[in-house]
Each structure stands twice: as C-alpha cells, then as structure tokens.
Chain A
C-alpha cells in the first residue's frame, strides 16, 4: 500500500526540489490591451491568466451599488484543456463558485475599496493548466493584474501552499504531492505587514505542526513577493522607457 515517496531520505522531492523550494516562476504583466489590467503567471506547470476591468459603473441587475465602497466581482474558471482529461466545465459549479468567493474575500480585504464608491471592479481568473496550487496561482496572477490596472491596494497579496510529509513541511505543493491525500495549507498573505488574507486547509493536520507549516507557507509567500515585485518594477521601467521614446 506504500504510496509514492514524496520526500526521499536524501531530502529531495519527486521533481527534484528541496522541501522549502518554490517551483519555477514565470510571469508577465499586461498581456491584453483591451482589459484595464492583465497578467499571466506560471508556477511550475500551473498556468493562470487574470484580467481586470474597472473600476466602472455597476452593471446588470446583480448587485446594488454600495455607497461607501466598490463592489468586487471575481470569477474563477478552469479551461477545458487545463487537466489531463478534457472536461467541459460549466460556469458556476460548486468548486469554481467556492474559489470565486475565496478570491473575492481575499481582494475585498486588500483593495482600497473606499476609493471608488458606487462602482465595480471585475476580476476574471482562468486556470489554463492545472498542476497543483491553483488558488495560489490565481491570487498571484490577480494581484499582478490589479497592479497592472493601476488600482490601489494596501499591499501585494501573495499566496503559497504548503504540505506536510515525514515530519517535514513542503513549500508550494504540486498536483502529484497534493493528490497523495496529505494535509495542504494554503495561505494568502500581505507580505509587508504579514497579515493573512486567507487561510485554507485540506485534510487534517495536527495542531502541533500547524505553526511549522504556516511558517513555511508564509516564507513561500515572501519569496513569491520578491519575484513578483521584481517583475512589476521591470515592467514599470520598460513602460517608462517606451513612453520616453514616444
């Protein structure tokens, strides 16, 4: 019954990472011109695309405009080709509704909502390829897209997951590691103030280990932040240069 050995005795994970290492990150800001803000991120083989529209007038009959803050509307979806098996994924199934809600909560907590009363911001995130840590990739992509759209936030929101195997916490778990049924903790954090915007746990984890796992996840968030911040700075300087030229 022995499952996969997620962590070898030599201290390497199945894909060759050490326990505390993130997967390879690649990201780009401003991938679409039509949207107000957009970003694309790859964390290992998990690929996510985020687009942001707004702030704009409240459209449709769904929600009433709020007089003191902006409405944040999040929609999460998975591309039909994002997993091994091609699957039609109807909008609004339970899982994506839940994800959308999580995202909404996360960003309501970080966007300076009081700056845009009576208006609405739409955030669309799509997973193009899923290989574990979908939520994290979405949050990170959305953060970049919001920055790209120029919407003020209290801080970046960075997300990272961590698991626990053989008394060792693992950072940024891949699908293979997730699917072994061990505990997975997902944290979305404001890296400067170390405030936690969202905390999610799958499967049971002993409370003695929680601190350790949380520690590792927040370390992952900060690493994530460093990468994202560098990318944003580079993007801005490139924009500045192109503006000078024109």
Chain B
C-alpha cells in the first residue's frame, strides 16, 4: 500500500488560463552511485571507484561530473569521447536540452543508454531536497542554474564522507563562479579538457563558446568577444521579448531559407502567409542559418525591396564589413518590390554537423581556418585546428557552436575526417551523412533474425497459405532489378470476366514486429538508391533473395485478387497469403516485345495483353477523375559492371508496360487502403497528398501564359485538362517541361495515421483518390511492411499486436518515414548530380 504521506504536494500555476498541476516531491530518489551507503539502490550506474580513462591534472581525485545545460547542448562531441565517464545528468538539464535542441537530446539519450558511459539521470525536480521554486523576477536561465547548483550541493553533502568529489562542468563562467563561491568544485569544459593528460586532439573538438553568463541570450550566441571588437550584427532579442512580440503581432515566426542565387539574400516562410517574405543583406539576416526557426519584423511597404538580379557568391574577402552597399536606405518602393523583413531573433537553431572542406588560413601557418560546407546554403564556418596539413584536400565534418555578433562567420569545431576529396567512397559517405541516411552494415543482432539457409517451404506453410503455384504469374521491372517486390497475373474467366492478381513479396513473414531486424528496418524506413550503390532497408538475403519474386522460384507472397469485368469494373476483391512461382522476370522492354509479338500466344503473352488492356481503361478512368500525369526528369546511368563507373547517361524511357505495372500497383494500393481503414479506423497507415496552395503554381502559370496557355489550377481535374491542352507542336518538349515544373509545384505526399486527421483530408491529390496507401514495395519501404501487417490482421492471417492499434505510435513511425523518404529522395538526386558532373568531366577531352 502506498502512503500518500511521503509526498509533499506543490501546485504549479502558469499560462493565461490558470492551470493547476500536481507536483509530487519524493524521498525515494537515489543518487545512483555504487559508492553510496545511504541509498538502497539495486542497480547503481556510477562506479564505486571512478578512475578516469585519462589522468586529469585539475581533478586528480576520484570524481563524478555534473553537467550544466550549455555543456550538454554544445559539447556532445566531447561527452561522446570515451574519456568522459561517470556523469550525473539532471532532469532539469535534460528537459532544457530537449526543449532547445532535439538532436543534442537524442545524442545524450544514446549516451545514457550506453552502459559503459555510466551516465546517471537524477530526477532532481521531484526530489524533496533538490526541488526549488522560481523566485519572482528570476529568469528561466537563472532558475535552471540555481536548480543545478542546488543538486550539486545535495550531491556534495551526500558524498562528504567518501573520497569522491562532485565536479560541475559548465561553459558559463558566471555559473562557475557562483558554484565556487558556494564552496563547490567547478570548471569550464575548456579547463577540464585542457587538463586531460595525453589527449590534446580533444581540444580541436571543443565547441568554441566560453561565455559570460550575463551576456548569454537566445542561443548563447550574443556575445561580444573580449577586447570589444567591431560588432557586426544587431543583437538578438531574448526568447521572452520574441514571445511577447509574436503575441502582440509585432513579430512573426517563420523558417529561414537562404537564397540559392545570392548569399546576401534570403527568404522566410512565415506561418499563415502564403508567400515567402524576402530578406536583403547579411545584417538583416542577422546570423540566421538555413532552416533556423526565426522571429522576423516586417518592414513598412515603403521600405520593401526587390530581389537582386545578380548572382553573388560569398568570397569572404572583407571580414569586418557586412553589407557594402547600403541600399536599404533608398526612398520609396522599388520596382518589383516584394514584402521584406528583418530577423530580430532566433527561436530554434537548425544546426547539425556539416560535411565540407577546409580552406587555407589567411596567414600561412595560422590555426584559424574557414570551412566550406558541401551544402551551399550554409555559410562558411570558422574553425581552429592544428592539423590543417592532414585535413586539407579531405572531406571533413564540422559542427557550428555559436555565432557571436562580432564575427562575420559562425564559429565551429572539427568533428571527423571522412577521406580524400574526389574519392568515390568519400563522396558517397558525404552524401549519405548530409542526408542522414543510416548506412552502416547491419549489426550482428539484426542479422541474427534472418531465416537460416537453406530456406524451404514446409508442410505447415502449405496448409496456411493458398497455393498459387499453378497460376501463370510474371514480374515486369526495370533492367538489373534484383529486389523484385511485385508480380502480376491475368486469367480470363468463363463468365467473360477476368481474374487479375497482384502478388507482393511477403516481407512481413520474415520480419517479426519488435525484433532487432524490424527496429532497424523501421529506423531506415526506405531503401536508398544512389547511382552506384544501393543502401538496403533490409539485409541482402531478404531483399535480393528470399523476398525477391524472382522467376522460376517458389516464394511467399501477399496476393490481391480481383474479379474484373472487361470494362475494368471490380466485381470483388480478395486478399490472401500465398505461395507463388513466377514464370518469368521480364524487363519492361521484354514484356513490351512479348505483347507486340503477335506470334506468341502462350498464357503469359495473353495475360500481359489482358493486363495492358485493363490498365489502359483504368488509366483513362483515373484521368477522367482528375489524376495528374506528371513527367519526371529522371535519368539513368548504365554502369560498368566491373568498376561501377557510369558509362552512359540516358533519360528514362516510359513504355506502355511501365504504366501498366504502375496502374495495377495503384489499384492494389487503393483496395488495400480501403480494407485496412475499415479494420483500423484509428490507426491505419495511409498516404495522403494535400492539395497544393494556389500560390505554388504561380511560376508555372506565368510560364504557360508566355506561350498563350491559361492553366487552370483550382482543381486536379482542371489542371490535368489544361495541361493536356498546352501543346506546342513545334516544341514537343514544351508539354513535358510544363509537367516537370508542375511536379515541382506539388506538395509532398505524406504518410499518416488515419486517426490523426478528419476523413476529408485523406485525399491523394495527384492520384485523385480519396484514400491511398503503400502496399506494393515492402522490400524497400517500411510503410508497406506496416500495411502488410495490418492487412494480415484484417484477413485473420496473422495476430494483431498492440502497436498497430496505437494511433500515436503509428503516427510517430509515419513521421520518421516521411523524413527518411524525403532525405532518400534528396540523396538520390544529389547522387545523380554528382555523377553527372563526374561523367561530364571524365568524358571531356583532356
């Protein structure tokens, strides 16, 4: 039985509406140390005799480290080093880090999970002796610092009878002094790392922010360096001022996007405004970096200005001058002026480690260097390093630490060396890192869940699965495809209708929910295709072998079977787990030839012709409904099989058979979407494509108008129709170009959990389908794996498990999948760019 007496209850008030929440204080939160005799702990985290990996000349006694928030936020690179162990992390610190930087939070959670690091989380806010209340007029920063010192004092007191000391690590000199005045041991990270014997290279990885607390504002970046150098940038407002300003409508919140053409220009996409707002000049950009969430102040209309027509690249010539031309002072609106603003503060930084190259120091032999990120939209970063000689000519990773007002460029530190520039592996590595693609080899734990070879179909399998091995099934894919996840068949029925089947690799049979293999696939989310490399979502054994529906072998499939009339009306649909034996794995070209060759009349040829006929009707129906046919500018490389160098660049050719397969995949996806939505009204994993806002179409409407075509964009159907009309016989490419541009205007399609949105938002705009999902590529998309599991439950082929019913969990997975898909797309495009360049260079006569 629990006694309610052991708690003291406090209430917390705040917000406009009065919110009262209970806050229990406890006396059963332990210190987490094996050296402690007072606390009854069964699993201590901190070691009894904390001997550091490296001797530290400052603290030569056994000690635990207690971290200040700014250390966790900015010095994770150091914390991840094996030299740092036995660390106390306060709940307050963790909360603040989570609030300020999710990436840092994730990394620190990984450290806590790593048992060898011995990071202990102390829930100080619910501890009776370490809980403090905010004092009137105390800033949140001061409050947190005080909470940290309170816990520090508690720990000090707790360990006073042992040889162990508690050392506060902070970046904040003010907090260090206060702690010292209270009789505690406190150092800055700089001091501590410097005193580590034999690890001078750690200094390079130290973030460049030793700050004075009083000047710390929004993101520790508003600091004037000692010596009072020339201040270049306006001050950032504090988060308090920003919030107040946003509430009053003086400021607006938005995401900063640097201009691709001119480094002095940028845009902010403001919430609730259709058009992006323009920013001119580095001072007005005020140290915002691509992707940061910022607060902006709109200029009066008389101060609006027009984007310049000059392309400018930051050469970094004058370091102490920001904007040379001060044409902000011009009078009256310029021609072509657009809404303009300036950035007054940063709400959340989007800093991450960047790949790039180091540039030579201004002074020969100097240690101060500029770093140029591979991503052009990121400003140059100033770093200090002793190892320029080794780093020059290599791709390296650098993190931004801060951007003080007196520094033209942000300050950062070196993290890792990837390898020589131009080396294909290095460049691929850069590409994968830049797009956050998990690409390490699969771990032993993951591989242990693979089926043992030789894999055979057992009697038991035959009893639970429908045997479709007698059906004439074939697959149609691009040449060189080894991960075949779909196959089709068509069989005329006696009543004049036809049976059409889509057979999808039964990946969920091999990946059981929750095991390491499943978790890894879920985290990867998708297979990533680079020009010369494929980063698989699931291990090769599954993707290219057991799951791949290759010709002539028996495989497990998840089949969708329709009975359809000759007019391609669905009479009924049925889903079943099956065993199939694909008769042949055709390429698009082979399939086309088989259809066209009138002399062939075997079951497969008849089937393919039947499928093609049906597909054409289905496509017509979709188009009549307003589905868009958009061109994609994908290009393909033919690779040399030995060297993996691209030999030839070709544009993808669309054959009738491409769209035939596509049509049936769409049909299967829609049928499955309806079925799982029925079974899982709250948590079905679906895919939607929101209607793009009209403003997205403006550029393309303009282009079309120059040629005298009027594009209707108010509905999918109108758009599709007007695109069809926009043909110029003399320029056959014009229509395709328009369609390509339309693709660019589209919003991203997204996965979502059905319980999260009202039904009318399920719409897939591009396909003009009220409901849609992904079912047909489980080998290379994790969304399809989930959908397979849901469908299996729906037809009682498999048991349900709790996560499938949890709409929040499904949405969480969807969010990750959306992110991974976007990144995979970008990585794929970047890879094509890279090879196009390489291909052009190598084919140039030297």
Interface flag for B632 (CB, 8 Å): no
0/1 string, B791-812, CB within 8 A of A gives 1: 0000000001110011110011
Does B205 make an interface contact (CB < 8 A)? no
**B109 A208 Cβ-Cβ under 8 A:** no
| A134 CB, nearest partner CB in chain B, Å | 16
B376 within 8 A of A: no
Q: Are B24 and A209 in contact (CB under 8 A)?
A: no
A94 on interface, CB distance cutoff 8 Å: no
Tell me which residues across on chain A come within 8 A of B112, comparing CB atoms: 9
Among candidates B11, B22, B109, residue contacting A9 with C-beta atoms closer than 8 Å: B109
Asked if B731 lies at the interface with its beta carbon under 8 angstroms from chain A, I say: no
Chain A 62-93: CB-based contact to B (< 8 A → 1; otherwise 0): 00000000000000000000001100000000
The chain A residue with its CB closest to the CB of B94 is A8
With A16-B25, A24-B9, A181-B808 known as contacts, the answer to whether A10 contacts B801 (CB < 8 A) is no
CB-nearest residue of chain A to B131: A16
A57 CB within 8 Å of chain B: no
Task: Assess A16 versus B24: contact at CB under 8 Å? Given A1-B815, A9-B109.
Answer: yes
A21-B17 contact given A1-B811, A206-B805, A208-B802, CB 8 Å threshold: no
A170 within 8 A of B: no
- B805 pairs with A84, CB closer than 8 A: no
Judging by beta carbons under 8 Å apart, are B805 and A205 in contact?
yes
B26 interface hit (Cβ, 8 Å):
yes
Q: How far is the CA of A23 from the CA of B5 in the complex (A)?
A: 11
Are B25 and A84 in contact, CB atoms less than 8 angstroms apart?
Answer: no
Q: Within the assembled complex, what's the spacing in Å between the Cα atoms of A133 and B91?
A: 28
Q: A84-B18, A85-B17 known; A208 and B9 CB under 8 Å?
A: no
For A225, give the chain B residue with the smallest CB separation: B1
Contact B22 A21 (CB under 8 A): no
- Which interface residue of A10, A25, A181 has the most chain B CB atoms within 10 A? A10
Q: Which of A181-219 contact B (CB under 8 A)?
A: 181-182, 204-206, 208-209
Q: How far is the CA of A169 from the CA of B25 in the complex (A)?
A: 21
Give the residues from 537 to 591 in chain B that come closer than 8 angstroms, CB to CB, to chain A.
Answer: none
Residues of B within 8 A of A12 (CB): 123, 126
Kindly list chain B residues whose C-beta atoms are within 8 Å of the C-beta of A223. 1-2
The answer to whether B801 touches A1, judged by C-beta atoms less than 8 angstroms apart, is no
Closest to A13 in B: B24
Minimum CB–CB distance from A65 to chain B (whole Å) comes to 42
Which of B26, B801, B806 contacts A208, CB < 8 Å?
B801
Q: A21–B26 Cα gap in the complex (Å)?
A: 12
Chain B residues near A26: list those with CB within 8 A: 4
**B682 at interface (Cβ–Cβ under 8 A)?**
yes
Chain B contact surface mostly? mixed
A10 with B123, Cβ < 8 A, contacts A15-B22, A84-B17 known: yes
Q: Is A176 an interface residue (CB 8 A)?
A: yes
Instruction: Write out the residue numbers on chain A whose beta carbons fall within 8 Å of the beta carbon of B125.
Output: 16
A206 and B126 within 8 A (CB): no
Given A10-B121, A223-B1, the answer on whether A23 and B800 have CB atoms closer than 8 Å is no
* A14 vs B12: C-alpha distance when bound (angstroms): 12
Contact at B24–A17, with CB atoms within 8 Å? Answer: yes
Q: Is the CB of A206 within 8 A of B17?
A: no
Closest-CB distance, B27 to chain A (whole angstroms): 11
Q: Does A112 contact B (CB under 8 A)?
A: no
Q: Which residues of A contact B7 (CB under 8 A)?
A: 16, 24
Residue of B nearest to A223 (CB): B1
Residues of A within 8 A of B17 (CB): 84-85
**CA A45 – CA B806 in complex, angstroms?**
28
Residue of chain A at shortest CB distance from B20: A45
Q: A9-B112, A16-B24, A84-B17 are in contact. Are A1 and B812 (CB under 8 A)?
A: yes
Q: Does B21 sit at the interface, judged by CB under 8 A?
A: yes
Most chain B beta-carbon neighbours within 10 Å: one of A16, A26, A84, A206: A16
CA distance A20 to B2 in the complex (A): 9
Residue numbers in B under 8 Å from A180 (CB-CB): 808
Complex Cα spacing A205 to B804, Å? 10
Q: Which residue of A lies closest to B98 (CB)?
A: A5
B19 within 8 A of A: yes
B800 & A206 in contact (Cβ 8 Å cutoff): yes
Secondary structure at chain A's binding surface: helix, strand, loop or mixed? loop
Inter-chain CA distance A206–B682, complex, in Å, is 13
Closest to B681 in A: A204
Which residues of chain A are near B18, meaning CB under 8 Å?
84
- Set of chain A residues within 8 Å of B21, measured between Cβ atoms: 14-15, 45, 176
Say if the beta carbon of B23 comes within 8 Å of chain A: yes
A3 at the interface (CB under 8 A from B): yes
Count of A-B contacts judged by CB separation below 8 Å: 76
Chain B contacts for A131, CB-based, 8 A: 20, 22
Within 100-139 of B, Cβ neighbours of A (below 8 Å) are at 109, 112, 121, 123, 125-126
Contacts of B1 in A (CB 8 A): 223, 226
Encoded as 1 (CB less than 8 Å from any B CB) or 0, chain A from 30 to 62 comes to: 000000000000001100000000000000000
| CA of A229 to CA of B664, assembled, Å | 67
Interface membership of A120, Cβ < 8 A: no
- Contact across chains for A23 and B123 when beta carbons are under 8 A apart: no
Q: How does the 8 Å CB contact mask read for A166-181 relative to B, with 1 for contact and 0 for none?
A: 0000000010100011
Q: How far is the CB of B656 from chain A (nearest CB, A)?
A: 41
| Interface residue A243 (Cβ < 8 Å from any Cβ of B) | no
A10 to B808, CA, bound (A): 21
- Known contacts: A10-B121, A16-B24, A84-B19. The answer to whether A21 contacts B2 by CB under 8 A is yes
Q: Judge whether A2 is part of the interface by a CB distance below 8 angstroms.
A: yes
Contact partners of B9 in chain A: CB under 8 A: 24
Q: How far is the CA of A12 from the CA of B127 in the complex (A)?
A: 11
Contacts of A3 in B (CB 8 A): 808
Find chain A residues with CB under 8 A from B807 CB.
181
B815, A206: Cβ atoms closer than 8 Å: no
- For residue A22, CB closer than 8 A to chain B, the reply is yes
Tell whether, in the assembled complex, residue A45 and residue B812 are in contact, meaning their CB atoms are under 8 Å apart: no
Known: A9-B112, A205-B805. A2 touches B812 (CB 8 A): yes
Bound Cα distance A201, B11 (Å): 29
Contact B802 A209 (CB under 8 A): yes
Contacts of B4 in A (CB 8 A): 22-26, 227
Q: Are B805's CB and A15's CB within 8 A?
A: no
List which B789-846 residues lie within 8 A (CB) of chain A.
Answer: 800-802, 805-808, 811-812, 815
Query: Please, how many angstroms separate the alpha-carbon atoms of A23 and B4 in the complex?
Result: 7
Q: Which of chain B's residues have a CB closer than 8 A to the CB of A204?
A: 682, 805
In the assembled complex, the CB of A122 is this many whole angstroms from the nearest CB of chain B, namely 31
Name the distance in Å between A196's Cβ and chain B's nearest Cβ: 21
**Chain A proximity of B13: nearest CB distance (Å):** 12
**In the bound complex, CA of A1 to CA of B109 (Å):** 19
Q: In the bound complex, do residue A16 and residue B26 qualify as a contact, i.e. CB atoms below 8 Å apart?
A: yes
**Can you report 24 residue pairs joining A to B where beta carbons are below 8 Å apart?**
A1-B812, A3-B808, A8-B91, A10-B121, A12-B123, A12-B126, A14-B21, A16-B22, A16-B23, A16-B24, A16-B25, A16-B126, A20-B2, A24-B9, A24-B22, A44-B22, A45-B11, A45-B21, A84-B18, A176-B21, A204-B682, A206-B800, A208-B801, A208-B802
Known contacts A8-B123, A22-B2, A45-B20; 8 further A-B pairs (Cβ under 8 A) = A1-B815, A3-B808, A10-B121, A15-B23, A20-B2, A22-B4, A24-B7, A182-B808
> Which residues of B does A touch, CB under 8 Å?
1-2, 4, 7, 9, 11, 17-26, 91, 109, 112, 121, 123, 125-126, 682, 800-802, 805-808, 811-812, 815
Top 6 nearest A-B pairs (CB, nearest first) are A16-B126, A206-B802, A16-B24, A24-B4, A15-B22, A204-B805
